[in-house]
Amino acid sequence: MTMEESGDLAAMFRRLILNTGPVSIAHFMAESNARYYNSADPLGSAGDFITAPEISQMFGELIGLWLADVWMRAGRPDHAHYVELGPGRGTLARDALRAARRYGLEPRVHLVETSVALRDVQFANVPGAHWHDDLSTLPASGPILLVANEFLDALPIRQLVSTEAGWRERKVGLEGTGESGRFIFVTGSQPMDSAVPEAQRDAEPGTIIESSPAAAAVIYEVAGRLEQQGGAALFIDYGHAEERTGSTLQAVRAHRKVDPFASPGQADLTAHVDFAVLSRIAESRGAKWLGTATQGGWLRQLGIEARAAALSRSAPEHADAIRAALHRLADDEQMGALFKVMGLAASGWPDGAGF
């Protein structure tokens, strides 16, 4: 590792901003998260946040059943690939593949993961998988059964803000100099009006709109591959199914929301996913948008209550924990309403359940 790589990311950003001016939020977020995910295993009760597959095996199992169901109704095509984007500890893949195997679905497994630290954990949970740095090296033939849970929210976003003088990019600047310089939001000087959709241009001053070109690129690529190769995809994340304005940039550390600028590289920086935009991008590529359901509604339609009851019968000593997990995953005041499930499929493939 060079000094620069091992050094303090905050110091690096301070130097960069002093020398060349404010940096984009996307730049700040991309560097911070690359460092964050590479330095440790952030998931689980001992880490910074808990994700659905870490709460209960029911989550991954129902996703495996969903994939097996569309694959069977598509006529059990050969050479199917299970693809997961940002698989974390590999828990979802392990649970989903175990459930799918009971229906005769034994796909090759492809994990798209940039973190070297997390790849090690995935290796232990998903032996025999193939790893990829991005989607470009995924196989070009054979249907794709793709899952991404809490992946899109970690991709860099751009923010534009409406000012009296027109639209500008919201950037990260510095207040004060040297070691004590604090990162603050600043307004860029370049006019950005042409980047704002016509319908939103007249928004009142102070309005912020967010977009994630990186998330859009992922959906564009996945939808194109579904059309070319066949298959179906599930994107699960917190976000909104209708368009909206405002900043949703946030940072989480040790299960608490913290200032996104406080310690770059040491907290998870995320933003809400704009499912409305992403579904339109998928459709523009010819893929079928199956719908965007709430996580709670989708899991219930897939039978999470029956699955919880069966698990409790076979392990009564865990009944309380199973009930708590069900509540956490599916109830509206927990993850059930904020989290959404967006389904996509190749146009010739069956509609998946739950939408």
Residues that bind ligand SAH (CB under 6 A): 33, 37, 43, 51, 53-54, 86-88, 92, 112-115, 118, 149-151, 154
Tell me whether residue 59 or residue 289 sits nearer to ligand SAH (CB atom).
59
Question: Given phi > 0 = left and psi -120 to 50 = alpha, else beta, which region is 313?
Answer: alpha
- Pairing mode, strands 81-85 and 166-175: unpaired
Contact assessment for residue 115 and residue 94, using Cβ atoms and an 8 Å cutoff? no
Tell me whether residue 60 or residue 291 sits nearer to ligand SAH (CB atom).
60
The Cα 259–Cα 205 span in angstroms is 24
Cβ at position 8, least distance to ligand SAH in Å: 21
The Cα 122–Cα 69 span in angstroms is 25
- Pairing mode, strands 250-253 and 256-258: antiparallel
Nearest to 87 by CA among 62, 58, 52, 136: 52
Cβ at position 236, least distance to ligand SAH in Å: 8
Question: Given phi > 0 = left and psi -120 to 50 = alpha, else beta, which region is 162?
Answer: beta
Cβ at position 130, least distance to ligand SAH in Å: 14
Tell me whether residue 53 or residue 296 sits nearer to ligand SAH (CB atom).
53
Cβ at position 210, least distance to ligand SAH in Å: 17
Number of Cβ atoms within 10 Å of the Cβ of 44: 15
Tell me whether residue 88 or residue 143 sits nearer to ligand SAH (CB atom).
88
Cβ at position 146, least distance to ligand SAH in Å: 12
The Cα 307–Cα 304 span in angstroms is 5
Cβ at position 340, least distance to ligand SAH in Å: 14
Cβ at position 103, least distance to ligand SAH in Å: 23
CA separation (Å) from 234 to 14, 50, 54, 146? 39, 19, 18, 6
Tell me whether residue 92 or residue 293 sits nearer to ligand SAH (CB atom).
92
- Among all residues, whose Cβ is closest to ligand SAH? 86
Tell me whether residue 162 or residue 294 sits nearer to ligand SAH (CB atom).
294
Tell me whether residue 114 or residue 200 sits nearer to ligand SAH (CB atom).
114
Classified as helix, coil or strand, 197 is coil
Tell me whether residue 32 or residue 159 sits nearer to ligand SAH (CB atom).
32
Q: 10-32: string of b/e by CB count within 10 Å (b at 16+)?
A: bebbbebbeeeebbbbbbbbbbb
The Cα 175–Cα 36 span in angstroms is 24
The Cα 225–Cα 287 span in angstroms is 9
Cβ at position 153, least distance to ligand SAH in Å: 8
The Cα 212–Cα 235 span in angstroms is 15
Cβ at position 88, least distance to ligand SAH in Å: 3
Q: Backbone phi, then psi, for 97, in 5-degree steps?
A: -70, -35
Tell me whether residue 118 or residue 342 sits nearer to ligand SAH (CB atom).
118
